[in-house]
């Protein structure tokens, strides 16, 4: 189906475009992008887009697709269906699969399974073999196969010598090394953020310092190795943000991401013992959330990523301490961001599109997405002011482990367009 979006607001931050236009997409190509009228054909559906925004397709650089190995939680197909439903035209899948993404054969398997989908799938591979922290993975070979960055996500590279070696290996190809920042010796068996509340609830705590120790160490190792590219995944504490800001101010090539749940929720909700609130890193205190919002405003945080982490119902419906960490996020990400950052007055739409589309691609050296006549359409179209109630039964992913079911949000994805495919969001 071909679509003509009449009088839509196009925002393309990289080109400095923010204008009302008539946008015609035919056979996957942008045929018209101008305030002038277009001579469209009879096969094209006309959509009154006065209240819609078109942006370069959203891109999430931190997603767990669970394939290979745990397809009962999510698969490449169902995960990308969820991504398109949430407005994403690109994702990066994490390496903590079974087998781990530490070998070119696994990379090629994922690339083959990702063909023909609306949502592009890029791949992050493990820093160490089997994510065990003992031997470096064949990083250069993996990079040649198309891997866009390296992380042992779900586990920190604990040994300083091993992390230094990873930075040294990264130097020849200027690879990006990302870290799940957690000193596991301080967090073993944790269930929530460590505060007075965790003691009252009888739950093992995860102190802020466990994240900050690794961030500080890694920044120092990155500098020691010659100012190598270093990315902090799902940053969650005020102290870690201060470390990243200081590193950036001193000229180090450090970046970071934050999840919508960490700028939306706090650990006060843990009194409900809802296992869909259990995640890693855990929900933090109000001061941390406030620091995250300030860091989004001042540019310390480079991008918003979901850390989409599907788990089956039987895995989450257990005692709180036994439940796995993680929540899904692809289908609520844009709504939460618009509600809590745009409508709350913290960020403009231009700034949000940079955080969710432009910056992650730029970090990973993926070509920027343009919105202009004659090129392949890669678009997210959303209604910034439309109110809706989250209903997880409408989600396209296999797992439904979200704490946001029933939340009222303002701002909704409407269409994802990419690879000559279009998905109309069903939320």
Structural domain boundaries in the chain = 2-54+377-386+407-424, 57-363
Hey, what CATH class is 2-54+377-386+407-424 in?
Answer: mainly beta
The conformational region for residue 275 under phi > 0 = left, psi -120 to 50 = alpha, else beta, is: alpha
Residue 344's SS3 state is coil
What b/e sequence results for 200-226 when a residue is b if at least 16 CB atoms lie within 10 Å of its CB, and e otherwise?
ebebebbbbebbbbbbbbbbebbbebe
Could you tell me if 158 and 166 are in contact, meaning their C-beta atoms sit under 8 angstroms apart? no
Instruction: With CA atoms as reference, report the closest residue to 380 among 131, 87, 26, 152.
Output: 87
What b/e sequence results for 82-111 when a residue is b if at least 16 CB atoms lie within 10 Å of its CB, and e otherwise?
bbbbbbbbbbbbbbbbeebbbbbebbebbe
Examine the residue annotation and report whether 120 is marked as an active-site residue of this protein.
no
Query: How is domain 57-363 classified at the CATH fold level?
Result: TIM Barrel (3.20.20)
Which residue among 103, 152, 307, 405 is the active-site one?
A: 307
Rounded Cα–Cα distance for residues 207 and 190 (Å): 9
pLDDT in tens, the chain (427 residues): 799 999 999 999 999 999 999 999 999 999 999 999 988 998 999 999 999 999 999 999 999 999 999 999 999 999 999 999 999 999 999 999 999 999 999 999 999 999 999 999 999 999 999 999 999 999 999 999 999 999 999 999 999 999 999 999 999 999 999 999 999 999 999 999 999 999 999 999 999 999 999 999 999 999 999 999 999 999 999 999 999 999 999 999 999 999 999 999 999 999 999 999 999 999 999 999 999 999 999 999 999 999 999 999 999 999 999 999 999 999 999 999 999 999 999 999 999 999 999 999 999 999 999 999 999 999 999 999 999 999 999 999 999 999 999 999 999 999 999 999 999 999 9
**The overall pTM is greater than 0.85:** yes
């Amino acid at each position: 189906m071909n679509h003509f979006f009449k009088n839509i607001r196009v925002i393309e931050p990289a080109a400095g475009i923010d204008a009302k236009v008539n946008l015609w997409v035919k056979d996957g190509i942008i045929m018209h992008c101008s305030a002038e009228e277009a001579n469209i054909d009879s096969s094209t559906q006309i959509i009154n887009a006065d209240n819609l925004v078109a942006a370069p397709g959203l891109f999430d650089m931190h997603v767990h697709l669970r394939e290979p190995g745990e397809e009962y939680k999510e698969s490449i197909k169902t995960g990308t269906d969820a991504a398109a439903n949430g407005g994403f035209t690109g994702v990066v899948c994490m390496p903590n699969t079974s087998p781990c993404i530490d070998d070119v054969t696994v990379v090629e398997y994922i690339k083959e399974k990702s063909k023909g989908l609306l949502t592009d799938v890029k791949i992050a591979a493990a820093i160490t073999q089997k994510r065990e922290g003992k031997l470096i993975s064949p990083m250069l070979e993996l990079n040649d196969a198309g891997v866009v960055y390296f992380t042992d996500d779900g586990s920190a590279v604990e040994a300083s010598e091993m992390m230094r070696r990873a930075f040294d290996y990264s130097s020849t190809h200027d690879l990006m090394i990302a870290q799940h920042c957690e000193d596991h010796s301080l967090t073993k068996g944790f269930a929530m953020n460590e505060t007075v509340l965790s003691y009252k609830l009888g739950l093992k705590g995860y102190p802020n310092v466990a994240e900050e120790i690794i961030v500080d160490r890694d920044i120092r190792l990155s500098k020691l190795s010659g100012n190598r590219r270093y990315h902090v995944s799902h940053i969650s504490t005020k102290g870690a943000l201060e470390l990243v800001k200081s590193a950036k101010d001193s000229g180090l090539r450090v970046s970071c991401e934050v999840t919508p749940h960490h700028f939306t929720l706090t650990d006060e909700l843990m009194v409900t013992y809802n296992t869909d609130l259990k995640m890693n890193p855990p929900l933090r205190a109000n001061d941390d959330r406030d620091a995250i919002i300030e860091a989004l405003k001042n540019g310390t945080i480079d991008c918003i990523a979901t850390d989409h982490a599907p788990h089956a119902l039987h895995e989450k419906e257990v005692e709180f301490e036994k439940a796995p960490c993680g929540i899904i996020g692809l289908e609520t990400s844009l709504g939460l961001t618009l509600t809590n950052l745009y409508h709350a007055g913290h960020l403009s739409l231009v700034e949000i599109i940079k955080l969710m589309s432009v910056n992650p691609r730029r970090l990973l050296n993926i070509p920027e997405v343009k919105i202009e006549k004659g090129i392949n359409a890669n678009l997210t179209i959303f209604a910034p002011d439309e109110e809706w109630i989250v209903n997880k039964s409408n989600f396209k992913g296999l797992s439904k482990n979200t704490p946001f079911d029933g939340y009222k949000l303002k701002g909704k994805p409407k269409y994802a367009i990419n690879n000559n495919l279009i998905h109309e969001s069903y939320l």
